[in-house]
Amino acid sequence: MNPTRHVAGAARRGSLIIVGTGITLVRQITVEALEYIQRAEKLFYLVPNPAVAEWLRELNPSAESLENSYSDGRPRHDTYAEIADRILKSVRGGLQVCAAFYGHPGVLVQPSREALTTARREGFAARMLPGVSAEDCLFADISVSSTGRGWQSFEATDFLAARRRFDPGSALILWQVGLLGEASVREGMSCRPERLRVLTQVLRRHYPGRHPVILYEAAQFPICDPTIERTILERLPHKQVLPAMTLYVPPRPSRPTSRVVARWLAE
Ligand SMILES: C[S@@+](CC[C@H](N)C(=O)[O-])C[C@H]1O[C@@H](n2cnc3c(N)ncnc32)[C@H](O)[C@@H]1O
């Protein structure tokens, strides 16, 4: 279970393995992630659920929360840089370090990526393992179109800022709508209504007002149900969108238009 085995040419003693804890408490962690968490000489974690934090501390007494790198109004970029730095300090100190993030550690987790890249650049063995993301839970909880029309997944602020092009004929998933246009996080925040209106206006160029949309929050505890709040696009600005929610927009009806492929299928 030594991550040095996985990185050819790694010369230095410290190492880094980045794992995900999944969304639902305990049950969604992979066997390999669990093993690394237990064996690490130093464990860092960033998870929103205090019960998961408690569980991680039981699994590995070296566990240290990264939560205190956040503070109200602090620019997110500063927080991410500090988190990456804290992890790297232990790697540079020669320890076998494991950093656990909720969900999939590579899905919208900037500090994990930063720590991984820097550790590798500095010659340490460093690897990320996959985890169960909120999107994986969404696919399980909502009957996402299974007709092969695909889906597109964007971070909501980037979606608006970069005017991302997308195809409304396949499903659309927007992450972090609750943090739309926010450079820092605050306790108890939700998407500002005027910003939710802007997002809705952009989506209205592609979908009718009565198009269904779903605000989704996967259950964090095995005994709980997910939150699946169904509404229509024109009512979206009246909803409270929390940071832990993901917006799902089902596809608009569309027909394949390629004659070539139609001929293939008819053969
Ligand atoms: C910083 S990203 C972290 C994603 C995480 N690494 C993952 O793999 O799911 C935070 C965003 O993930 C989504 N998210 C986090 N927890 C969720 C949950 N319980 N249900 C649905 N979406 C969730 C939301 O879109 C939220 O704004």
Catalytic residue of the set 102, 207, 216, 248: 102
Looking at residue 6, its pLDDT comes to 44
Helix/strand/coil for 50: helix
- Domain covering 134-249: architecture: 2-Layer Sandwich (3.30)
CATH 3.30.950.10 intervals, the chain: 134-249
Instruction: Flag residues of the chain having pLDDT under 70.
Output: 1-11, 145-147
CA-nearest residue, atom 25 of ligand 1: 175
Please identify, by atom number, the ligand 1 atom nearest to the C-alpha of residue 227.
20
Q: Is 29:42 a contact under the CB 8 Å cutoff?
A: no
Does the pTM surpass 0.85? The reply is yes
Question: Cβ atoms within 10 A of the Cβ of 188, count?
Answer: 7
Ligand 1 centroid distance, CA of 109 (Å): 10
Q: Is 33:131 a contact under the CB 8 Å cutoff?
A: yes
Q: Read off the pLDDT of residues 157-199 as tens digits, 9 standing for 90 and up.
A: 999 999 999 999 999 999 999 999 999 988 899 999 999 999 9
Active site residue 80: yes
Helix (H) or strand (E) holding 208: none
**Nearest partner of 207 among 162, 158, 174, judged by Cα:** 174
Q: Is 172:193 a contact under the CB 8 Å cutoff?
A: no
CATH 3.40.1010.10 intervals, the chain: 3-128
Distance in angstroms (rounded) separating the CA atoms of residues 80 and 112: 9
Ligand 1 centroid distance, CA of 175 (Å): 7
The helix-helix angle for 76-92 and 110-121 (nearest 10°) equals 40
Ligand 1 centroid distance, CA of 36 (Å): 23
Q: Which CATH number describes the domain made up of 3-128?
A: 3.40.1010.10
Active site residue 216: no
Which own/partner contact pairs does 79-87 have at CB distance under 8 Å and 24+ positions apart? 79/111, 80/110, 80/111, 80/114, 81/111, 81/114, 83/46, 83/111, 83/115, 84/111, 84/114, 84/115, 84/118, 86/44, 87/16, 87/44, 87/111, 87/115
